[in-house]
Amino acid sequence: MSEKKTNRENRRRRRRRNQLISYCVMAVVLIAVGMGCFFGIHAAGSAVKQHQAAREESRQELLEASRVEESAQAQAAVAALFETESTEETESTYTKEDALNDMVEDTLAGMTLEQKVAGLFFVTPEQLTGVSQVVAAGDATRESLEKYSVGGLIYFAKNIQSEDQLKEMLSNTASYSLFPLFFGVDEEGGKVARVADTLKLDKTVPMGEIGAAGDTQAAYDAYQNIGNYLSSYGFNVDFAPVADVLTNVDNTVIGNRAFSSDTGVAAQMVSSAVTGLQETGVSACLKHFPGHGDTAGDSHTGAAQTDRTKEEMEAEEFLPFQSGIEAGTDMIMVGHITAPNLTDGDSLPASISEKIITGVLRNELGYQGIIITDAMNMGAITEYYKSDVAAIMALKAGADMVLMPENFEEAYQGVLDAVADGTVSEERIDDSLRRIYRVKLRSRVL
């Protein structure tokens, strides 16, 4: 039943209750009037029959007491009806959103500070366990998750051997975790398809080809197909689609991973891709805000900068991200891109810039979902910042999750110490966890 129909039904039920209440009140009044007349007649008769005065007076007192009791019972019945209506109306206003919020708050209330901090990290299984190559989840995984309740695990081709092995590994890992986990992978289609390439699945064509054809249904279908096979193995996060606009033709890092060099086409494709993917239960993660399409450098190995003005980025780079936000994307990845025209000239990468994450993405674009950094083991970060410093800067800038710090244990301990000394407040940690767990727990309620 639609919300409008539900509201109409609730109003109809309330009208019926109100009518019943009115009838009860009217009955009480009529009874009182009738009994008053009855007492009046008998009172007149008693004046003639003086010898029965004492007995009649006693009788009237008894009848009056009875009338008062009946009236009180009627009023109690009316009050009960009002109370029932009030209770039912209160129950009807408790929504699924309320239930989700309660589940999130209950989860946070049951977490230690150590668990909260660990929940902000999205790492590889190797970073979690210390094993050189993880292809199964056993004692090492279980013990590591008991020590570090990380928020998510990202897998690469080296972790995948077969369909059965992949399913078992993810299933076992999930069973070892005290809290729900994100299981993520880069599966864009084209040349970035960790799962399809390794398992020899029918691979989706590059998004640049889909964008060139101008068919938004094809973008929807492509990502629904990706989501279907990812979810069948146990993944619930896809670090895709690419929302960059390829405005620099010399940009080989992005290339045909982007839908188009036309911002309008890219925006339409991104919206369809997000919808197709998330309908399968796999969260989309737009990347790489504020836009990697104009850069010539590669943030994997060093600094990458865009010299686009803010006005140019608002007119082009931001539009596909805004389109994805309107489509309901669960996550947005912030890249290690330096954008001096967005930051009043400073050279901080976007992934650790409060002016970009909070100032632009949160406040100007109005995004309220999960913000995650690009991989923090990339050269654009590791050449200039230690793992703990970079993680703290990202969280203070407004990021919710830190992806693949170069040294996970150092980053984790650094954030834990920062909360202990007041550099980062526990309330700030809780804000991020609320966004994270709204996505993780949503399927249980909605």
The residues assigned a catalytic role are 300, 374
- CB within 8 Å of 253: residues ≥ 6 apart: 292, 295, 298, 299, 300, 304
Give me the helix-helix angle, 387-397 and 408-420, nearest 10°. Answer: 50
* Three-state secondary structure readout of 125-176: HHHHHCCCCCCCCCHHHHHHHHHCCCCEEEECHHHCCCHHHHHHHHHHHHHH
Give whole-number Cα distances, 193 to 4, 167, 185, 188, 203, in Å.
Answer: 43, 17, 9, 6, 8
- Find, among 292, 290, 286, the residue nearest to 240 by Cα: 286
Classify residue 203 by its DSSP letter.
P
Residues whose CB falls within 8 Å of the CB of residue 371, separated by 6 or more in sequence, listed in order: 331, 332, 333, 334, 357, 361, 362, 398, 399, 400, 401
Structure tokens at 387: 């793992």
Tokens of 347: 């050279």
Q: Which two tokens stand for residue 9?
A: 């039904």
